[in-house]
Structure 1
């Protein structure tokens, strides 16, 4: 059964839509706390998000961008705003579709079915994962950037190679020899000092975005990447 996260501030519409979609065996979770949409999104891990634009405090475009920073989950906007510019903004902020209110429940169900079939079903195309995410810390694989909350920092090639290895082996001790080997290429000689300098730079950049002491030195063994920031969120 596919999970849907419904972000709608009109309780009547939300409950009617939830009841209708559950007849088609979707598991529908309605937003509970509008200031904690990202936390609820991660907890529910939905296959699809239905997202209103006019929401308390931050609008749907904002939350779409936040979700897109950590997930490729399809997002369908539901809104009474029917201007072409709103629809353009929805797509530019990462939306997959846009349905205007008042809407026909059968149309919504058909669109959801089509998107889920395309993304997860018989027409699905394998997507290349473009990021690694650990509790709001994101390593972007194509752009070679790391992000935490609202901060983004660019990485050099060597910094990126090392940090990717750390993130992919969270809580595992990586020896200096192993790290030197993954930095080695045919064109550049890599010595022990190069490794030390790059790890120092990564630690500094992590501190600049609010993450401290996550790359820990294990004496006589190497280094370990540890989630030290969860308790501060």
Structure 2
């Protein structure tokens, strides 16, 4: 079950959002510690954050920057400010999306689902281990919340695209994942995406795996897609056809 943390100081709006989002089967938490939202975030460990801009003590931009030092979870800003510059500032401070008040609830839910799908793979089909934000294949594990890959005690940080790509491959470790599936995991609309962009991201993920000591963990299956070995080993596995 995905956890949604709602940072909204208007109690009525917070309760409305909690009730509406809860109807879709999500676990929700309405923030209350506005002096130290970063600590509350660490305690809750949400999969997605809804963040108002106008807050007591510090604004949403400040807290977004603080949370980005800890996590790459999707952050959707909610605000009565509807100006273009406010939306620009939200993105520049680490936000992923922006919804202006009054909040159109159907649109907000569509954005929540889209953000979760991009961050964690298919919307209802993740294979994270129960009670954690981790997906694993053998000793190779992805900590989704921290955006880190680990193998035998060694960790490497991942960019947003690297994390999403790793998650898509780990969820189907040992199986061929088509290029189309991987493009959809990275971008909502693949129609205008250059196919070479996927190749570049796969190359970057391979480099991160090499930093862990896994030099041949991802196979390129010509004409079909990519396959992450089900139990990556230090000496690699089958021969790899790199692009």
In the other structure, the counterpart of 2:19 is 19
TM-score when normalising by structure 2: 0.51
Any conservation in 1 of the 2:53–2:77 contact (CA below 8 Å)?
A: yes
In the other structure, the counterpart of 1:8 is 8
1:157-207 CA deviation, whole Å, 9 max, x = no partner? xxxxxxxxxxxxxxxxxxxxxxxxxxxxxxxxxxxxxxxxxxxxxxxxxxx
Residue 99 (str. 1) matches residue 99 (str. 2): yes
In the other structure, the counterpart of 2:55 is 55
How far off its partner does 1:91 sit?
Answer: 0.3
Any conservation in 1 of the 2:71–2:147 contact (CA below 8 Å)?
A: no
In the other structure, the counterpart of 1:64 is 64
Matched pairs, number: 135
In the other structure, the counterpart of 1:81 is 81
Q: Distance in 2 between matches of 1:9 and 1:45?
A: 19
TM-score when normalising by structure 1: 0.54
Runs of 5+ unmatched residues, structure 1: 133-138, 143-233
Which one has the largest radius of gyration? 1
Any conservation in 2 of the 1:77–1:97 contact (CA below 8 Å)?
A: yes
Secondary structure of 1:86's partner? helix
Q: Distance in 2 between matches of 1:10 and 1:38?
A: 19
Give the superposed CA RMSD.
Answer: 2.5
Q: Distance in 1 between matches of 2:122 and 2:54?
A: 34
Secondary structure of 2:36's partner? helix
Any conservation in 2 of the 1:70–1:131 contact (CA below 8 Å)?
A: no
How far off its partner does 1:122 sit?
Answer: 2.4
How far off its partner does 1:33 sit?
Answer: 1.4
How far off its partner does 1:131 sit?
Answer: 9.9
In the other structure, the counterpart of 1:119 is 119
How far off its partner does 1:118 sit?
Answer: 1.3
How far off its partner does 1:10 sit?
Answer: 0.4
Any conservation in 1 of the 2:53–2:78 contact (CA below 8 Å)?
A: yes
1:1-233 equivalences under 5 Å are: 1-122=1-122, 129=147
Runs of 5+ unmatched residues, structure 2: 127-141, 159-243
How far off its partner does 1:8 sit?
Answer: 0.3
In the other structure, the counterpart of 2:222 is none
